């Protein structure tokens, strides 16, 4: 899935291109094409599924500077802060 999000920081507008790619190992070669030239990568997991959290370790090798945000796709909690940080 793909979505554009524009954020205004001071007097500067920044447009983020957000790509939702599959996290399963079988899709890894495809997703690597998406994040090869990315400025930021979000690695997400489901706190109700321990296997989801364990799988995050396989993706962390692409991270050079990592920040942790506890967010909720359901409620939107901390999503604005996360997007601002990425911008």
Which tokens go with 49? 């599924």
**CB–CB of 71/78 below 8 Å?**
yes
End-to-end CA distance of the chain: 20
Q: Give 56-83 pLDDT, tens digit per residue.
A: 877 777 677 888 999 998 899 999 999 9
Please state the domain count of the chain. 1
Give me the CATH number covering residue 45. Answer: 3.40.50.300
Tell me the residue range of the domain where 11 lies: 2-86
Q: What is the pLDDT of residue 69?
A: 92
Q: What is the pLDDT of residue 84?
A: 93
Determine phi and psi for 37, rounding to 5 degrees. Answer: -110, 20
Which DSSP symbol is given to 48? T
Q: Give 9-55 pLDDT, tens digit per residue.
A: 999 999 998 887 766 666 666 666 767 778 888 888 888 999 888 88
Number of H helices, E strands in the chain: 3, 2
């Amino acid at each position: 899935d793909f979505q554009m999000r524009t954020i205004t920081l001071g007097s500067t507008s920044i447009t983020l291109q957000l790509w939702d790619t599959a996290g399963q190992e079988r899709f890894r070669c495809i997703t690597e094409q998406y994040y090869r030239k990315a400025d930021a990568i979000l690695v997400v997991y489901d706190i109700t599924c321990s296997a989801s959290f364990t799988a995050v370790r396989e993706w962390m090798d692409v991270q050079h500077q990592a920040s942790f945000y506890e967010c909720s796709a359901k409620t939107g909690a901390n999503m604005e802060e996360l997007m601002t940080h990425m911008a």
